[in-house]
Amino acid sequence: MRPAALRAAIEADLAAGVVPAIVVATIGTTSTTAVDPLPEIGAICAEHGVWLHVDAAYAGAAAVCPELRWSHAGVEFADSYCFDPHKWLLTGFDCDAFWVADRGELIEALTVMPEFLRNAATESGAVIDYRDWQVPLGRRFRALKLWFVLRWYGVEGLRAHVRSGVALADRFAARVAADDRFELAAPHPFSLACFRLPAGDEASAELLRRVNHTGRVLLTHTRIGGRYALRLAIGSPLTTEEHVDAAWALLSAAAGDLLAT
């Protein structure tokens, strides 16, 4: 998200008599894991009283590592923030961790209080009714599995997992960068590397098809600035340097065959 474009959009809304209500910024976009410039975006939202939600669904896990917290600069501007431990923090699907600066506004929007839900504990104000923080009334005890993950791995275990993913993506990206047949398609701040064949979109798409057809890897793709890119994502605690090197060997051999024809 470009701060200048955001400011222009807000100003255009105001000029048209429309009230801008919410901005959703992303730390670690789905396609490429890009990080929005939150300090600038947050200041613009604060200036205009616009709710700022920060979506760190995947990259929120990076914040367990002090050296990766640069990615969360400006998060203090957030009115709400979420990340999914089920993505990169070793927790079974599904589990979203949600934080809100002022729960009053959320509860005001979502609370329902039919007679059959009235009870003394709620009325005393001594309990937090999380049913008022969401659209459904009922909820599963998702926090329990996250608690087990935190207890089992501990903070150092979680950090080791995240650091391993980042190091493996770096290792793979270094192979890509050193080979003229390939190019990196975006920065790789976390555990995803996006790359392509400069030979073109069709060649890149065919490369993806061929390596996935072997059944030994499963890569996905995206488009960056309209151009096709392959995505190699690392997330399992079982993935090692040998797996990454094997994936690279497979890609390299397939590219060799493809570019020779």
- With binding defined as CB under 6 A, does residue 162 bind ligand PLP? no
**Interface with ligand PLP by CB under 6 A: which range of 27-35, 117-125, 138-146, 190-198?**
27-35
Of the candidate residues 25, 26, 44, 90, the single one contacting ligand PLP (CB under 6 A): 26
**Residue in 187, 212, 206 with CA at minimum distance from that of residue 255:** 206
For residue 198, report the phi and psi dihedrals to the nearest 5 degrees: -60, -20
Q: Which of the stretches 21-29, 37-45, 168-176, 196-204 binds ligand PLP when contact is defined by CB under 6 A?
A: 21-29
Query: Is residue 1 within 8 Å of residue 41, measured between CB atoms?
Result: yes
Instruction: Return the residue of 41, 54, 57, 169 that touches ligand PLP, per CB under 6 A.
Output: 57
Q: Which of residues 83-102 bind ligand PLP (CB under 6 A)?
A: 84, 96
27, 35 in Cβ contact below 8 A? yes
Q: Longest C-alpha distance within the chain, in Å?
A: 76
Interacting positions 65-84 with ligand PLP (CB under 6 A):
84
Residue 16, exposed/middle/buried by CB under 10 A (0-12, 13-18, 19+)? exposed
State both tokens at 193: 């590397």
Query: Minimum distance between the CB of residue 231 and ligand PLP, rounded to whole angstroms?
Result: 12
| Residues near ligand PLP (CB under 6 A) | 26, 28-30, 55, 57-58, 84, 96
